[in-house]
Amino acid sequence: MASPASAPPAAALDPADLSAVRAALLAWFGRTARTLPWRGGQEGARDPYRVWVAEILLQQTQVARGTVYYDRFLTAFPTVQDLAAAPQEAVLKAWEGCGYYARARNLHRAAQQVAQDGFPHSYDGWLALPGVGPYTAAAVSSLALNEARAVNDGNVRRVLARLHAEPQPTPAWVQARADALLDSARPGAWNEAVMDLGATVCTPAAPRCGACPLQPWCAAFASGAPAAYPAPKVRAAVRDVPVVAVLIGTPQQAVLERRVGALLGGLMGLPAEPLASGETPQAALERLCARLPAHPGAFLGSLTHVMTHRRVTLHLYAAQADLPRHLVAQEALSRLDQKALALAAQPALL
Ligand code: SF4
């Protein structure tokens, strides 16, 4: 792969080409648009609830996997009123496996606001809802209200960086290029088209330039090394977080606690404590058991789980206590807790 540094510098697309670029992408979209469950209804007048849920749920999730979660969520809450009226536990249960549970809690709060006040009528109205950032507000207002707002996500960033051969696109740079290129007559279709192009043709590692409607104007293609744009991001370091947890009861019926904090807050999980600096798992186990209170038992095993720049190593122990048990299948649990329960359910341990 050639280095972006050896390629021509980024150039603004010739304004004379803009209408041809728009026409080419929209014609391609007309032929190849993906059929997705939130794309019902007319272009620019999609169902705002379905678009909104999809945009929140699919952040950080691939469409193929996200669609399964989306169908499950929409089956549980077919309308914004259903979502608003549901208890938070039921919302988190329907969100199980999607991660980033703050999104579900914010979506629930925003649904309660919408059920009372009605759907927002503009980008600014959407932006004012809990958990709705510029990307989601632009997506919903363009797809459902046909408001001329350009979306700016990972797919858009990649397509525009390549179109202009820009190795280091900043968010402001991407937004400015996206705004300039947006087809203001058909903003909903335009945004859907760019998202589809990024997801199916201008993919991260192996762009299919031979099938791309933007190829005649693409500076990265002309450079001979389209995949070199944009330059890889420097990833945030992953932090190690050692944790002890206890199973009191069985993997089916166990003592559970409600998690707090931004990442998993609202979910239920096995009683757990992170290790203090320099603390051994055994010492942390005794601290955890003193808090509950419980009697520590046998070591059941360890597992590792990576989430949001954290690598959690969980050391699981049995413990005994006279505390109320929960039916595990009925509670919303994080994947970490599901893995811990699966570890405890291994035949050799029972
Ligand atoms: S020509 Fe290739 S690199 Fe350029 S936008 Fe199309 S798929 Fe992406």
Maximum Cα–Cα distance for the chain, whole Å? 76
Q: Which pLDDT band holds residue 142 (cuts at 50, 70, 90)?
A: very high
- Determine, yes or no, domain membership for 79: yes
Q: Is 230 in the pocket of ligand 1 (CB under 6 A)?
A: no
- Determine, yes or no, domain membership for 181: yes
- What residues contact residue 334 under an 8 Å CB cut-off, 6+ apart? 101, 259, 264, 267, 269
Residues 28, 120, single domain; the answer is: yes
> How far is the C-alpha of 169 from the C-alpha of 177, rounded, in Å?
10
58: nearest Cα among 110, 93, 108, 107 = 107
Q: Is 163 in the pocket of ligand 1 (CB under 6 A)?
A: yes
Q: Which residue, judged by its Cα, is nearest atom 8 of ligand 1?
A: 202
Active site residue 279: no
> Once rounded to an integer, what is the mean pLDDT over residues 270-288?
94
Which of residues 228, 248, 276 is at a domain's end? 228
Residues 207, 248, single domain; the answer is: no
- Determine, yes or no, domain membership for 204: yes
Q: Which of helix, strand or coil describes residue 160?
A: helix
Q: Is 159 in the pocket of ligand 1 (CB under 6 A)?
A: yes
Q: Which of helix, strand or coil describes residue 244?
A: strand
Q: Which atom number of ligand 1 is nearest to the Cα of residue 159?
A: 5
Cβ atoms 53, 73 nearer than 8 A: yes
Q: How far from chain centre, in Å, is Cα 147?
A: 24
Residues 123, 249, single domain; the answer is: no
- Determine, yes or no, domain membership for 118: yes
Mean pLDDT, rounded, of the chain: 90
Residue 291's Cβ-side half-sphere holds a number of Cα atoms within 13 Å equal to: 12
Gap from CA of 16 to ligand 1 centroid (Å): 20
Q: Which of helix, strand or coil describes residue 287?
A: helix
pLDDT at 165: 94
> How far is the C-alpha of 119 from the C-alpha of 115, rounded, in Å?
8
What pTM was computed for the model? 0.77
- Determine, yes or no, domain membership for 54: yes
Residues 146, 293, single domain; the answer is: no
Q: Which atom number of ligand 1 is nearest to the Cα of residue 226?
A: 3
Residues 250, 335, single domain; the answer is: yes
- What residues contact residue 87 under an 8 Å CB cut-off, 6+ apart? none
Q: Is 162 in the pocket of ligand 1 (CB under 6 A)?
A: yes
Q: How many CB atoms lie within 10 A of CB 217?
A: 17
pLDDT at 23: 95
The CATH number covering residue 63 comes to: 1.10.340.30
> Once rounded to an integer, what is the mean pLDDT over residues 251-258?
93
Q: Is residue 120 predicted with pLDDT exceeding 60?
A: yes
- Determine, yes or no, domain membership for 134: yes
> How far is the C-alpha of 183 from the C-alpha of 190, rounded, in Å?
6
Residues 24, 160, single domain; the answer is: yes
233: nearest Cα among 312, 309, 300, 181 = 309
- Determine, yes or no, domain membership for 233: no
Residues 216, 72, single domain; the answer is: yes
Residues 30, 149, single domain; the answer is: yes
> Once rounded to an integer, what is the mean pLDDT over residues 246-257?
94
Cβ atoms 145, 122 nearer than 8 A: yes
Which of residues 192, 208, 228 is at a domain's end? 228
Q: How many CB atoms lie within 10 A of CB 57?
A: 23
- Determine, yes or no, domain membership for 325: yes
> How far is the C-alpha of 8 from the C-alpha of 100, rounded, in Å?
39
Gap from CA of 268 to ligand 1 centroid (Å): 45
Which of residues 194, 228, 262 is at a domain's end? 228
> Once rounded to an integer, what is the mean pLDDT over residues 139-167?
95
Residues 310, 221, single domain; the answer is: no
Q: Quick: pLDDT tens for 184-217.
A: 999 999 999 999 999 999 999 999 999 999 999 9
Residues 168, 58, single domain; the answer is: yes
Q: Domain span at residue 248?
A: 239-349
Residues 222, 252, single domain; the answer is: no
Residues 191, 249, single domain; the answer is: no
Give the number of domains in the chain.
Answer: 2
The CATH number covering residue 248 comes to: 3.90.79.10
> Once rounded to an integer, what is the mean pLDDT over residues 169-174?
93
